[in-house]
Amino acid sequence: MRELQASYEKIKEFNTLILSISSKPQVTAKRLVELFKLDYPVLSDVDTQIIQQYGVLNAAGDNAIISIFIIDTQGIIRWKQMPEDTIPGEQIIQELQKVEIQ
């Protein structure tokens, strides 16, 4: 989350939105926004419907796997990554540059 926040201004230059999805309750999602001083929203998906639709529910079925998706304006997934650790903001910017060219 901190990594995305650090790259947020550059990512916005691509006419792009960041939306974080958490399986935690809304009150917890709000705390995350406050704790990390995020400029982007954190959606609470307690019943994991959205998380399941994107195929990123963990094996225990109780949490999302940390993932990044670049989805174009038509709703087509152009790039995704499901890393074990944090996602470098610079890598997201590089992928956005590739998508913009297409």
pLDDT digit string, tens, across residues 4-53: 888 888 888 888 888 888 899 999 989 989 998 999 888 899 999 999 99
C-alpha span between 15 and 97 (Å, rounded): 11
What's the pTM value of the predicted model, to 2 decimals?
A: 0.67
* pLDDT (0 to 100) of residue 48: 94
Side chain identity, residue 74? Q
pLDDT digit string, tens, across residues 43-91: 899 999 999 998 988 888 888 888 888 888 888 888 888 766 556 677 7
Domains in the chain: ranges and CATH? 2-97 (3.40.30.10)
* pLDDT (0 to 100) of residue 83: 64
